[in-house]
Amino acid sequence: MYVGLYKMTEKGAGDIKKAPERMKDAIDAWEAMGGTTRVVVATMGEYDFVSVGEAPSDEVAATFAAALASKGFVTTETLRGFTPEEFAGLLAKLP
């Protein structure tokens, strides 16, 4: 699972009325790369948008983040998330 944290750049804020369209385009691009989307929301606070989804690999998630950032409307931060079951599996491997 991947959690995406996005902040609008000055360019993105200057064209904010098109943000919903760009959100849809980003979802389509993510899914075209093999990802699945759980949720994408506009938020109040430090980040302007947050997404949660699945990707086939870390490489796909990193490529998507780079492609999105290269458009100049948002900066990205991607977190690798683990479900409680996945986290328990990791902890079970501890010596």
pLDDT per residue, tens digit, the chain (95 aa), is 999 999 999 999 999 999 999 999 999 999 999 999 999 999 999 999 999 999 999 999 999 999 999 999 999 999 999 999 999 999 999 99
Structure token pair of residue 2 = 């991947």
Q: What's the confidence (pLDDT) of residue 32?
A: 96
Structure token pair of residue 69 = 């950032």
Q: What's the confidence (pLDDT) of residue 61?
A: 96
Residue 39 structural domain: 2-92
Q: What's the confidence (pLDDT) of residue 75?
A: 96
Supply the pTM of this predicted model.
0.87
- What CATH number corresponds to the domain at position 78? 3.30.70
Residue 18: DSSP 8-state = G
Q: ∠ at Cα 19 (71, 28), nearest 5°?
A: 70
Number of alpha carbons in the 13 Å side-chain half-sphere of residue 35:
28
Structure token pair of residue 86 = 């996945």
Q: What's the confidence (pLDDT) of residue 17?
A: 96
Q: Domain total for the chain? A: 1
Q: What's the confidence (pLDDT) of residue 86?
A: 94
